[in-house]
């Protein structure tokens, strides 16, 4: 017995040395360099977790980012001197990674709808003033917000009356909707369980099946909500409004993406003071990753146990492990050997920021003051926008707005919707997947070697937090496969739900 063990040990030692030399790419380093493509939440958090979970052993992390700033779809814009979130804005109180990052990076949280900073006389709009627009009129409106100076009691009564109004229209279906969302959230919270009781997942499917969320990706939100007993009116109005705001899509989106989007209307939403992108910047710094900005990767080729990355500028990087932390769907990265993933369309969301005033005539109102702070829309042809929200009130005649639409907002169109327009900023986001049911998922591991893809998880849902959750799993997958290589054999084993006992124990 002892003799057999000894020779096994020797064998595995030989294997691990050769494996390390292979991935290390030479004599100079015994640890593989990890190259991460993309400096958004996925790229920054995978760097963080690699460093953290390896106890600092993975210390050669290179991040290649094509923009001049990190954050990706967490970005701010400047509208006439004020800074607003342009992409991923709201975080849920149960987004535990984002909360943790914000705390340990010493960033400040700001709760949605809280008053603007005290050095300004402008005010933040109350986001509870909602109107549902059908292209001709408001089919539903909540009450105008109470004056800012009103008493706490008055504000309580006001919000109670609003709740009553919403209840009168949608009834007990609202409770069923809430239960549907809470059930999804409870399952999602399993991804924060301690490492010992949570497997490393080799695929998105395994990850979703483990928490019992996979079923929600097989059917549309419409089907799921109808089965949950929601009224057709609630689905075609409030639910549709929320889907159009959060994902620019209708209720044919998958049940899971839909449930995540509905959670985005829970109370207690927050964002990072000064911009959510600072989470990415802080994590990258904290992980001591080497960040290369303005570096767009155009090709990835694997040979001799190493990956060679080439950039548009003509730089080359040699890496033992490569992590793709951006959607591949609209990129032209050439892979050698080629990799194949299911095709996926991205939903483009045009975010148009306007400083000025809405035109009351467009909305059949006599004054702009009658138009709610949040105008949601129904799934009706010819409504040229998905939502319009007030971001900041400078005066009754001067406000900052964010318009979401599926198509670009031309000047002529904006001139009909707005009566005054001082500044306009437009962004065309390749925003998130165009969801469908059933969903297909690209693998986390693209080539069976060391090429990983975090954004395959975006077919489940696309949010800041889900980016971090997927990145954490990919970090663990990388480490578990490295350990596999260096400890017992050179065979590469993918961890699947059939091997729940496998986990990184570092
Ligand atoms: C308008 C809008 C509103 C949203 N609202 C919310 C919200 O309220 N709450 C929420 O949680 N989420 C929201 N989201 C979704 C959320 O922003 C994203 O899911 C999340 O930020 C994606 O992070 P990521 O790191 O996976 O990708 P990204 O943030 O897209 O990061 C990818 C990075 O890779 C870089 N890159 C791409 N190609 C290359 C290349 N070839 N070489 C080098 N670098 C490259 C890109 O420049 C980018 O920085 C919203 C998104 C949009 C667009
Ligand atoms: C948040 O951080 C604390 C302490 O650093 C840690 O114990 C906890 O597990 C973290 N939570 C998550 C979800 O990572
Ligand atoms: C969703 O899909 C169904 C069936 O394909 C279709 O009839 C419907 O128009 C689509 N849109 C909405 C909003 O339900
Ligand atoms: C950070 O990385 C650099 C090389 O990129 C290294 O010299 C330095 O020791 C690292 N610092 C820490 C704290 O790990
Ligand atoms: C990718 O290449 C195709 C065909 O060469 C081109 O049409 C497309 O614009 C390119 N996309 C990007 C993002 O460069
Ligand atoms: C805001 O304050 C500035 C001076 O600090 C003043 O000029 C401006 O009129 C004020 N605006 C409103 C709406 O009170």
**Strand 34-37, strand 321-324: pairing:** parallel
The number of the ligand 4 atom at minimal distance from the alpha carbon of 59 is 14
- Give the integer Cα–Cα distance in Å for 286 and 288: 5
The number of the ligand 5 atom at minimal distance from the alpha carbon of 331 is 13
Q: Is residue 207 part of a domain?
A: no
Amino acid 314: pLDDT: 98
Please tell me whether residues 301 and 248 are part of one structural domain.
no
| Higher pLDDT, residue 506 or 204 | 204
Q: Is residue 476 part of a domain?
A: yes
Using a 6 Å CB cutoff, which residues line ligand 6?
121, 394-395
pLDDT in tens, 414-472: 999 999 999 999 999 999 999 999 999 999 999 999 999 999 999 999 999 999 999 99
Residue that terminates a domain, selected from 408, 433, 458:
433
Q: Is residue 201 part of a domain?
A: no
pLDDT in tens, 96-129: 999 999 999 999 999 875 433 444 556 777 778 9
Q: Is residue 91 part of a domain?
A: yes
Amino acid 128: pLDDT: 82
User: Which range has the worst mean pLDDT, 210-214, 264-268, 471-475?
Assistant: 264-268
The pTM of the full predicted model, rounded to 2 decimals, is: 0.89
* Mean pLDDT to the nearest integer, 303-307: 93
Amino acid 486: pLDDT: 57
The number of the ligand 6 atom at minimal distance from the alpha carbon of 394 is 13
Q: Is the pLDDT of residue 369 over 50?
A: yes
Judge if the beta carbon of residue 103 lies within 6 A of ligand 2: no
Ligand number with the minimum distance to the CA of 198: 2
| % of the chain residues with pLDDT over 90 | 81
Q: What average pLDDT is seen over the chain?
A: 89
Amino acid 154: pLDDT: 86
Q: Is residue 205 part of a domain?
A: no
* Mean pLDDT to the nearest integer, 313-320: 98
Please tell me whether residues 235 and 258 are part of one structural domain.
yes
Please tell me whether residues 310 and 296 are part of one structural domain.
yes
Amino acid 27: pLDDT: 35
Please tell me whether residues 358 and 471 are part of one structural domain.
no
Please tell me whether residues 340 and 358 are part of one structural domain.
no
Please tell me whether residues 176 and 323 are part of one structural domain.
no
Q: In angstroms, what is the span from residue 174 Cα to ligand 2's centroid? A: 33
Amino acid 324: pLDDT: 98
* Mean pLDDT to the nearest integer, 392-420: 97
Please tell me whether residues 295 and 382 are part of one structural domain.
no
Beta bridge partners, 426, equal: 352
pLDDT in tens, 326-339: 999 999 999 999 99
- Give the integer Cα–Cα distance in Å for 328 and 351: 22
Please tell me whether residues 117 and 250 are part of one structural domain.
yes
Amino acid 246: pLDDT: 97
Q: Is residue 212 part of a domain?
A: no
Residue that terminates a domain, selected from 411, 433, 455:
433
- Give the integer Cα–Cα distance in Å for 346 and 349: 9
Q: In angstroms, what is the span from residue 100 Cα to ligand 5's centroid? A: 38
Residue that terminates a domain, selected from 433, 451, 484:
433
Q: Which residue has the tokens 């003033």?
A: 129
- Give the integer Cα–Cα distance in Å for 34 and 60: 6
Q: Is the pLDDT of residue 501 over 60?
A: no
Under the banding of pLDDT at 50, 70 and 90, the label for residue 156 is confident
* Mean pLDDT to the nearest integer, 193-203: 97
Judge if the beta carbon of residue 236 lies within 6 A of ligand 3: no
Amino acid 114: pLDDT: 46
Other beta carbons within 10 angstroms of residue 451's beta carbon come to 20
Please tell me whether residues 140 and 106 are part of one structural domain.
yes
Q: What is the DSSP string of 61-119?
A: EEEE-SSSSS-TTS-EEEETTEEEE-S---B-TT-HHHHHHHHHTTPPEEETTPPPPTT
Amino acid 237: pLDDT: 98
Amino acid 494: pLDDT: 39
Other beta carbons within 10 angstroms of residue 365's beta carbon come to 16
pLDDT in tens, 137-152: 999 999 988 887 888 8
Amino acid 489: pLDDT: 40
Q: Is the pLDDT of residue 500 over 90?
A: no
Please tell me whether residues 423 and 450 are part of one structural domain.
no
Q: In angstroms, what is the span from residue 462 Cα to ligand 3's centroid? A: 22
* Mean pLDDT to the nearest integer, 158-182: 95
Please tell me whether residues 267 and 293 are part of one structural domain.
no
Ligand number with the minimum distance to the CA of 119: 6
Q: How many domains does the chain have?
A: 2
Alpha-carbon separation of residue 44 from 50, 56, 72, 429, 467 (angstroms): 10, 16, 10, 20, 10
pLDDT in tens, 236-267: 999 999 999 999 999 999 999 999 999 998 88
Q: Is residue 1 part of a domain?
A: no
* Mean pLDDT to the nearest integer, 283-297: 98
The number of the ligand 3 atom at minimal distance from the alpha carbon of 252 is 1
What is the CATH number for 450? 3.50.50.60
Amino acid 495: pLDDT: 41
Q: Name the strand (E) or helix (H) holding 470.
A: helix 464-487
Q: Name the strand (E) or helix (H) holding 243.
A: helix 240-247
Q: Domain range holding 310? A: 8-71+274-344+442-499
Amino acid 260: pLDDT: 98
Ligand 5 mutation pick, 296, 332, 335, 345, max ligand atoms within 8 A of CB: 332
Please tell me whether residues 451 and 355 are part of one structural domain.
no
Q: Is the pLDDT of residue 16 over 50?
A: no
Q: Is residue 149 part of a domain?
A: yes
Dihedral-angle region of residue 49 (phi above 0 means left; psi in -120 to 50 means alpha; beta otherwise): alpha
Under the banding of pLDDT at 50, 70 and 90, the label for residue 15 is very low
Q: Is the pLDDT of residue 493 over 50?
A: no
């Amino acid at each position: 017995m002892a003799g057999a063990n000894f020779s096994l040990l020797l064998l595995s030692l030989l294997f691990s040395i050769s494996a390390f030399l292979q991935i290390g790419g030479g004599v100079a380093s015994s640890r593989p360099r990890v190259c991460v493509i993309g400096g958004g939440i996925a790229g920054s958090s995978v760097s963080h977790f690699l460093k953290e979970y390896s106890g600092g052993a993975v210390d050669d992390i290179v991040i290649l980012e094509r923009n001049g700033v990190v954050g990706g779809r967490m970005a701010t814009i400047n509208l006439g001197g004020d800074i607003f979130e342009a992409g991923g804005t709201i975080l849920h109180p149960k987004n535990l990674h984002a909360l943790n990052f914000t705390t340990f990076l010493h960033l400040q949280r700001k709760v949605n709808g809280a008053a603007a900073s005290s050095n300004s006389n402008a005010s933040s709009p109350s986001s509870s003033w909602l109107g549902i627009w059908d292209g001709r009129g408001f089919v539903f409106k909540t009450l105008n917000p109470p004056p800012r100076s009103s008493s706490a009691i008055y504000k309580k009564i006001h919000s109670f009356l609003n709740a009553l109004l919403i209840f009168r229209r949608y009834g007990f279906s609202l409770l069923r909707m809430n239960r549907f969302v809470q059930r999804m959230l409870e399952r999602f919270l399993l991804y924060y369980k301690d490492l010992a009781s949570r497997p490393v997942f080799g695929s998105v499917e395994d990850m979703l099946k483990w928490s019992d969320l996979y079923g929600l990706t097989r059917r549309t939100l419409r089907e799921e909500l109808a089965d949950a007993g929601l009224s057709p009116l609630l689905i075609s109005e409030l639910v549709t409004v929320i889907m159009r705001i959060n994902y620019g899509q209708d209720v044919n989106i998958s049940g899971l993406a839909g449930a995540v989007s509905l959670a985005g209307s829970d109370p207690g939403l927050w964002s990072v003071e000064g911009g959510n992108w600072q989470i990415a910047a802080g994590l990258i710094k904290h992980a001591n990753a080497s960040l290369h900005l303005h570096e767009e990767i155009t090709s990835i080729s694997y040979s001799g146990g190493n990956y060679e990355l080439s950039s548009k500028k003509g730089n080359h990087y040699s890496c033992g492990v490569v992590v793709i932390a951006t959607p591949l769907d609209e990129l032209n990265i050439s892979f050698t050997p080629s990799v194949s993933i299911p095709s996926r369309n991205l939903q483009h969301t045009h975010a148009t920021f306007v400083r000025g005033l809405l035109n009351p005539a467009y909305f059949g109102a006599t004054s702009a003051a009658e138009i709610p702070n949040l105008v949601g829309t129904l799934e009706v042809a010819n409504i040229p926008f998905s939502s319009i929200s007030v971001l900041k009130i400078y005066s009754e005649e001067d406000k900052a707005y964010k318009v979401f639409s599926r198509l670009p907002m031309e000047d002529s169109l904006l001139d009909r919707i707005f009566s005054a327009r001082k500044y306009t900023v437009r962004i065309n986001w390749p925003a998130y997947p165009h969801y469908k049911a059933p969903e297909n998922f690209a693998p986390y591991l693209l080539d069976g070697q060391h090429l990983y893809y975090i954004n395959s998880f975006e077919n489940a849902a696309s949010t800041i937090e889900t980016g971090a959750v997927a990145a954490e799993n990919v970090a663990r997958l990388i480490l578990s496969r490295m350990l596999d290589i260096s400890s017992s054999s050179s065979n590469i084993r993918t961890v699947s739900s059939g091997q729940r006992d496998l986990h990184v124990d570092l």
